[in-house]
C-alpha cells in the first residue's frame, strides 16, 4: 500500500463520514450516474489519443460499479486519504470524480505518482469551479434575503489554472489541463438538488451547518433559478451546468520528452487553455 504522507498544512475541508453516508444513500436509492458516465467516456476518449497500451490500471473512485463498465480489468481503489496503491506497479492511474472532495489533492496526486512505473500516466477528472454557477448564485441570494446571512452550502471548487498547477507540484511531467462544459435541463431547482443527492454530491463540508436548510431558503432559491436560469429550449424548466476538468501528467522517466524552455512557446498560456476548452451545447 502507498503510505506517502500528506503534503504539509492540508486543512480539513471534508467531513469524510458524512460524505461516505451520502454516497451509501445514493447507492441504496439508485445512483444518479450520468455525470460519472460522461466523465468515464471522456477519459476513454483522451486515452484513445495516447499511443500506448495500458495493462496495469488502477481507478480511484467511490463508484466502482459504474467505472468497472469502462475499465473492466482495472484495480479499483477507494478515494480515501491514504490510497491503497502498491508503489511503482502501475502504468495508468485514473482519479475518477473524487479529487474535489480531498483535503489534500496534491497528496493524492503524489500517491498516484509513486504508484506509477517510470513514464506511467496519471489522469484525473473532477468538477471545476464553473459547475452549478446558477445554483450557487441563487442559494447565496436566497439565504441573504431570507436569513440575513450566509453559510457554507456548496463545495468550493478550483478553476482550471489552479488545478493544472497541481500536476507540477506533485512531481509529474508534461502536465496538461483541459475542460468540458455540460449543460443540463431540470424541471426545477428541487429536481436539480435531488439529482445532486443521488450523485452523492450533497453538502459534506466539515464546517457546514448541522441543521436542515430552512424550507423558505430553498423555495426562494427555486424562484430565483426559475427567473435567472430559465432553459431557453424547454419552457418551464431551468438550465445550469457542470464543468469537468481533466488533468494529465506522466511519471518522470529517462529519455522522456522535456517541456519547452521558458519563452520558447508559440502560444501564450491563456491561448493554450482557451484552445483546450471543449464546450458542449
pTM of the model: 0.85
Tell me the angle at which helices 189-198 and 16-29 cross, rounded to the nearest 10 degrees. 100
State which residues form the domain around 159: 16-279
Q: Does 117 have pLDDT greater than 90? A: yes
| Residue at 9 is within a domain | no
What average pLDDT does range 107-113 have in this prediction? 98
| Residue at 10 is within a domain | no
Return the biggest CA–CA distance within the chain: 61
- The grid coordinates of residue 277 equal 476548452
Is the pLDDT higher at 38 or at 206? 38
Q: Tell me what pLDDT residue 207 has.
A: 73
What average pLDDT does range 123-152 have in this prediction? 90
- The grid coordinates of residue 200 equal 452523492
For 69-99, what is each residue's pLDDT tens digit?
A: 999 999 999 999 999 999 999 999 999 999 9
Is the pLDDT higher at 170 or at 268? 170
Phi, psi of 122 (to 5 degrees): -110, 135
| Residue at 202 is within a domain | yes
Q: DSSP H helical segments within 130-278, as ranges?
A: 133-147, 160-169, 189-198, 215-228, 269-276
| Residue at 6 is within a domain | no
| Residue at 11 is within a domain | no
Beta bridge partners of 249: 122
- What is the number of other CB atoms lying within 10 angstroms of the CB of residue 201? 24
| Residue at 3 is within a domain | no
Q: Tell me what pLDDT residue 152 has.
A: 62
Beta strands in the chain (DSSP E): 57-60, 75-77, 90-96, 116-127, 173-186, 238-250, 278-279
Q: Which percentage of the chain shows pLDDT scores above 90?
A: 75
What total of structural domains would you count in the chain? Answer: 1
Is the pLDDT higher at 213 or at 126? 126
Q: Are 158 and 207 in contact (CB under 8 A)?
A: no
| Residue at 156 is within a domain | yes
What average pLDDT does range 258-276 have in this prediction? 45
| CATH at residue 261 | 3.40.50.150
- The mean of the pLDDT values for the chain is 87
Q: Tell me what pLDDT residue 109 has.
A: 98
Amino acid at each position: 500500500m502507498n503510505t506517502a504522507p500528506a503534503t504539509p498544512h492540508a486543512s480539513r475541508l471534508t467531513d469524510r463520514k458524512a460524505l461516505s453516508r451520502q454516497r451509501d444513500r445514493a447507492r441504496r436509492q439508485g445512483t444518479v450516474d450520468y455525470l460519472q458516465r460522461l466523465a468515464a467516456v471522456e477519459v476513454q476518449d483522451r486515452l484513445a489519443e495516447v499511443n500506448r497500451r495500458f495493462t496495469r490500471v488502477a481507478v480511484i473512485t467511490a463508484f466502482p460499479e459504474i467505472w468497472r463498465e469502462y475499465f473492466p480489468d482495472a484495480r479499483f481503489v477507494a478515494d480515501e486519504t491514504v490510497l491503497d496503491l502498491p508503489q511503482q506497479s502501475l502504468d495508468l492511474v485514473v482519479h475518477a470524480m473524487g479529487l474535489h472532495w480531498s483535503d489534500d489533492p496534491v497528496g493524492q496526486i503524489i500517491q498516484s505518482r509513486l504508484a506509477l512505473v517510470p513514464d506511467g500516466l496519471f489522469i484525473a477528472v473532477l468538477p471545476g469551479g464553473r459547475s452549478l454557477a446558477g445554483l450557487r448564485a441563487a442559494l447565496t441570494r436566497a439565504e441573504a434575503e431570507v436569513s440575513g446571512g450566509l453559510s457554507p452550502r456548496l463545495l468550493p471548487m478550483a478553476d482550471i489554472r489552479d488545478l493544472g498547477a497541481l500536476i507540477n507540484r506533485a512531481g509529474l511531467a508534461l502536465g496538461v489541463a483541459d475542460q468540458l462544459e455540460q449543460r443540463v435541463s431540470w424541471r426545477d431547482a428541487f429536481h436539480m438538488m435531488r439529482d445532486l443527492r443521488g450523485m452523492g454530491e450533497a453538502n459534506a463540508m466539515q464546517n457546514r451547518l448541522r441543521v436542515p436548510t430552512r424550507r423558505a431558503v430553498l423555495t426562494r432559491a427555486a424562484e430565483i433559478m426559475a427567473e435567472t436560469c430559465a432553459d431557453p429550449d424547454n419552457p418551464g424548466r431551468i438550465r445550469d451546468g457542470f464543468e469537468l476538468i481533466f488533468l494529465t501528467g506522466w511519471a518522470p522517466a529517462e529519455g522522456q520528452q522535456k517541456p519547452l524552455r521558458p519563452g520558447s512557446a508559440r502560444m501564450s498560456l491563456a491561448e493554450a487553455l482557451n484552445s483546450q476548452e471543449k464546450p458542449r451545447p
